[in-house]
Amino acid sequence: MSKTTIVPFGPQHPVLPEPIHLDLELDDERVVQALPSIGYVHRGLELLAERHNFIEMAQVAERICGICSFIHSQGYCQGIEQLLGLKVPPRAAYLRTMWAEMSRIQSHLLWLGLSADAFGFESLFQHSWRIREMLVDMIEETTGGRVIFGTCKVGGIRKDVDAETLQRIGGKIREMESAFNEISHIFSIDRTVKQRTVGIGVLTAEDAHALGAVGPVLRASGHARDLRQLGYAAYGELDWEPIVETAGDCYARCIVRLREISQSIDLIKQCIDRMPSGEIEVTFKGKRPQGETMIRLEQPRGEVCYYMCANGGKNLERFRVRTPTFANIAPLVHMLKGCELADVPVILLTIDPCVSCNER
């Protein structure tokens, strides 16, 4: 029995854009145990619901995280709409779906770049961010913001997109698709990528279920579980299937995300083609949320839950967010056990940690 060493990983680390801290207990180069500790980004924004009224809170919800920003405000607004008994007009639902998918693509491309950087594949990092800029341009053209969209509000959306712009976006997304297919091909066949990812950090289907993994981590382990199948917003009317891989290793998680980008591009095209006309919001003058609800959505990183409890006042009584990264901590700790120290950044990145979501 050799002596173990504890190596701290983070909070400030070259592969991490965000602070998370891991204590890695090592036996030579092998990780015996990994203990994550968080709190570097904890702001306590759930309590801000006491300060901001339920309409303003959508802005706070959007800033839970700058990467999945739109989906956070969408989830919050869906919850309030459920409490108020509102039904969003179809055009608003389709535009929400379109923006949510744009948000997903930019998040996955961002992740793709960061993980390429973690493998030491710098040029792939630059290329995926170049393509991401094409998408961010489309976001800016339709919403006005680059990362914080600010277009979702209780009862609908804040800003309509005219037919001409939609058509232009349709053209641009095709352009982006061909550029993306190029790097997607490189990513899936490259030897360097495969050497760093195949067979690393395997999460079996049973473990993924038992540990409560969500999102691409769960789908890479063979579970076809995507919360968009609940059919919220316009997902019930669009044609798509959850993407599943079975290997459960880092490579499978990469492939799931790559295929999801293609799927999201397809969903955006469908949204543009089938975009209904009409109102973009419903009014709810004087109504106050009452009761409680649990809303679940699929974020780029997996299932997010919002629990809201209101008692007819201006402010919510309790606002609770359970983000996908929080659910993926337990699988992460499990995967890190027994891996090599050099693989830690790769495994950590393939769960796509979003620390500011995680800690709220």
Partner 1 sequence: MNQHETFENIALTEWVNLARRHQAEGYRLVQMTGTARADYFEVMVSFDKDYRCANYRVHVPRDQPELPSLSAVFPASFTYENELKDLFGFTISGLALDYGGNFLRTKTKIPFSGDVTLKPAKSKKSAQENS
Partner 2 sequence: MRFLKKSPWILHYAATSCNGCDIELLACLTPMYDVERFGIVNTGNPKHADIFLVTGSVNEESRQVVENLYAQIPEPKVVVAIGACALSGGIFRDAYNVYGGIDKIIPVDIYVPGCAARPESIIDGIVQALEILEQRASERKRQRKLVAL
Can residue 348 be called a binding residue for partner 1 (CB under 8 A)?
no
State both tokens at 57. 């809170």
Q: Among 173, 194, 211, 174, which residue's Cα sits nearest to residue 332? A: 211
DSSP state of 238: S
Tell me which of partner 1, partner 2, none is bound by residue 219, counting a contact when its beta carbon lies within the kind-specific cut-off of 5 to 8 angstroms. none
Size of interface with partner 1, in residues (CB under 8 A): 47
Residues of this chain, 42-81, that bind partner 1 according to CB under 8 A: 42, 44, 46-48, 50-51, 53, 78, 81
Look at residue 4 and give its three-state secondary structure: coil
Q: Among 238, 234, 214, which residue's Cα sits nearest to residue 225? A: 214
User: Cα(49)–Cα(23) distance, rounded to whole angstroms?
Assistant: 34
Look at residue 156 and give its three-state secondary structure: strand
Supply the minimum distance, in Å, between the C-beta of residue 108 and partner 2.
13
Give the residue with the Cβ less far from partner 2, 29 or 133. Answer: 133
Can residue 8 be called a binding residue for partner 1 (CB under 8 A)?
no
Supply the minimum distance, in Å, between the C-beta of residue 305 and partner 1.
5
Can residue 307 be called a binding residue for partner 1 (CB under 8 A)?
yes
**Paired sense of beta strands 152-153 and 156-157, if any:** antiparallel
Looking at 26, 31, 58, 65, which residue binds partner 2 (CB under 8 A)? 65
**Paired sense of beta strands 156-157 and 290-299, if any:** unpaired
Looking at 331, 346, 349, 352, which residue binds partner 1 (CB under 8 A)? 331
CB 334 within 8 A of CB 207: yes
Give the residue with the Cβ less far from partner 1, 104 or 334. Answer: 334
CB 352 within 8 A of CB 327: no
Supply the minimum distance, in Å, between the C-beta of residue 50 and partner 1.
6
Looking at 4, 59, 181, 293, which residue binds partner 1 (CB under 8 A)? 293
b vs e for 269-306, b when ≥16 Cβ sit within 10 Å of the residue's Cβ?
bbbbeebeeeebbeebeeeebeebbebbbbbbbbbbbb
Looking at 17, 29, 87, 120, which residue binds partner 1 (CB under 8 A)? 87
- Sole window of 66-74, 101-109, 268-276, 317-325 interacting with partner 1 (rule: CB under 8 A): 317-325
> What sign has the CA pseudo-torsion 256, 262, 268, 270?
negative
Residue that is written with structure tokens 């309409």 in the block: 55
Residue that is written with structure tokens 């289907």 in the block: 205
Contact map string, positions 223 to 262, toward partner 1, x by CB under 8 A: --x-x-xxxx------------------------------
User: Cα(182)–Cα(194) distance, rounded to whole angstroms?
Assistant: 17
Q: Residues interacting with partner 1, by CB under 8 A?
A: 35, 37-39, 42, 44, 46-48, 50-51, 53, 78, 81-82, 87, 209-212, 225, 227, 229-232, 292-296, 303, 305, 307, 309, 314, 317-318, 320, 322, 326-327, 329-331, 334, 359
Q: Which residues of the chain form contacts with partner 2 (CB under 8 A)?
A: 11-14, 17-19, 39-45, 47-48, 51, 59-60, 63-67, 69, 110, 113, 125-127, 129-130, 132-133, 136, 145-148, 354, 356
